[in-house]
Amino acid sequence: MIMNKPKTHGDGKFKLTDFRIFGADSIIESGVLAFHCENISIGNRVYIGHNTIIKAYYKNEMIIGEGTWVGQNCFFHSAGRIEIGKNVGIGPSVKILTSNHINDFMEQPVLHNPIEFKKVVIEDNSDIGVGSILLPGVVIGEGAIVGAGAVVTKSIPPYSIAVGNPARVIRSRKK
């Protein structure tokens, strides 16, 4: 019996020269997997924690700005594009998703429905709490804080604090 070789998107192993840009003094810890590195730009002094998956896509880009810190066990999928600004803190186990299945076609399983792509932007000096999930199309405004475990379904204004599922703004950081 002849078996077909299984298809794969790769094993996630990489060399720093595989990235579109890999900034000076940046650190990628052991266990990090990266896919489509040619579409990932990492600024200077970026830290990416153990066992994080940074999954770019063949047609969109992932940009991680200088001075950003990414905790361990995160999952970033930039099919729709991810733009992370400068000096952003991203806690462990954060998930950033930029695509979802359109659910308008009842005659077939959701899995086989068309996919919609939407960019996620995290502006400079923001902080994303442990275990948060950012869904397609959201913008986290400059200096905003997303509390631990929040599920962000709508954009968060600059200098706001948002918590919960779904995340809601509870106050402004401005005095």
Q: Do the domain assignments include residue 58?
A: yes
Question: In angstroms, rounded to a whole number, what is the distance separating the alpha carbons of residues 16 and 93?
Answer: 23
Residue 101 known to be catalytic: yes
Residue identified by tokens 């940074």 is 54
Question: In angstroms, rounded to a whole number, what is the distance separating the alpha carbons of residues 139 and 116?
Answer: 17
- Specify the 3-state DSSP secondary structure of 37: helix
Q: Do the domain assignments include residue 11?
A: no
CATH of the domain at 34: 2.160.10.10
Contact 128, 139 (CB under 8 A): no
115-126: string of b/e by CB count within 10 Å (b at 16+)? eebebbbbbbbb
Other CB atoms within 10 Å distance of the CB of residue 36: 22
Q: Do the domain assignments include residue 7?
A: no
Quick one: average pLDDT of 124-131?
98
Residue 84's contacts (CB-CB under 8 Å, 6 or more residues apart) are 62, 63, 64, 65, 68, 90, 122
Question: In angstroms, rounded to a whole number, what is the distance separating the alpha carbons of residues 17 and 33?
Answer: 15
Q: Considering 9, 50, 101, 112, which one is annotated as catalytic?
A: 101
**Above 70 in pLDDT, residue 2?**
no
**Residues 23-60 pLDDT 10s:** 999 999 999 999 999 999 999 999 999 999 999 988 89
| pLDDT at position 108 | 85
**Residues 68-86 pLDDT 10s:** 999 999 999 999 999 999 9
pTM: predicted TM-score of the whole model, two decimal places: 0.94
Total domains in the chain come to 1
**154 CA to centre of own chain:** 15
Q: Do the domain assignments include residue 70?
A: yes
The range of the structural domain enclosing residue 49 comes to 16-170
Question: In angstroms, rounded to a whole number, what is the distance separating the alpha carbons of residues 160 and 170?
Answer: 8
Interstrand relation of 62-64 and 40-42 (parallel, antiparallel or unpaired): parallel
